[in-house]
Amino acid sequence: MAGRARPTWASPIAPPTAEQVGNVAPIRSWRSPRIEVRDGAVADRGVFAVRPIQAGLIVAVKAGHIVHREEVLRLTAEIGDQSLQIHDDLYLSPRTADEVDETAIRINHSCDANVGFRGQVIYVAMRDIAVDEELCHDYAMDRTDAYRLECGCGTDLCRGTVTGGDWRLPELQARYEGYFVEYVAEKIRGLSTGG
């Protein structure tokens, strides 16, 4: 954990104010002006730094409808994997293909993440991120469902297969301490207390 900055609540990149948002639908996610979506190295589309990002800065805030797992499973064919698990059976998700661009953050998976979470829906830089570097988080930070992905991140830390049970791995708990979504962090605390 040495050398890794802990998230801080003060950020020079603040989410937009109500006045800045104007008439935007309440399900719109927010991305920092320091990032942009473009063709990705990890997947078809990804998020890249267009300005240097310091460790601890907020890079995105996820929005969407709160939906049950059954609805997410039904919607996946239409919207793809654009949902964020926020509890055992609850997700933040678009409900139509038309809402995907408004709610998708598009931060891809990497087994060597440079982005983590603060709370449930805030994406934060875990370390300094250089211009043109792709922002990635590890799906172990926010998935506990029956998820399975054959990983192609190509990093030295690549697990090959990523699952919804990876949050249980002690090495990931240590590596990402302080960066799991709160819902997963509570599960990890429950493991250590026998709960």
The reply to whether the predicted model has a pTM over 0.85 is: no
180 in any annotated domain: yes
The predicted pLDDT at position 20 comes to: 46
Is pLDDT above 60 for 25? no
12 in any annotated domain: no
* CA dist list (Å): 192 to 173, 186, 188, 195: 11, 10, 7, 8
The predicted pLDDT at position 1 comes to: 46
Confidence of residue 26 (pLDDT cuts 50, 70, 90): low
32 in any annotated domain: yes
Provide the CATH number for the domain around residue 156.
2.170.270.10
What average pLDDT does this structure show over 69-75?
90
How many structural domains compose the chain? 1
Is pLDDT above 90 for 133? yes
Confidence of residue 188 (pLDDT cuts 50, 70, 90): very high
The predicted pLDDT at position 22 comes to: 43
146 in any annotated domain: yes
10 in any annotated domain: no
73 in any annotated domain: yes
11 in any annotated domain: no
The mean-pLDDT minimum among 22-26, 70-74, 144-148 falls in 22-26
Beta bridge partners of 137: 109
Q: What are the tokens at 76?
A: 């996946």
110 in any annotated domain: yes
Domain that holds residue 36: 18-193
CA 84 to CA 116: how far, in whole Å? 13
Longest dimension (CA), the chain: 47
Higher pLDDT, 45 or 40: 45
Long-range contacts (CB closer than 8 Å, 24 or more residues apart) made by 153-159: 153/42, 153/109, 153/110, 153/111, 153/112, 155/110, 155/111, 155/112, 156/112, 157/111, 157/112, 158/111, 158/112, 159/111
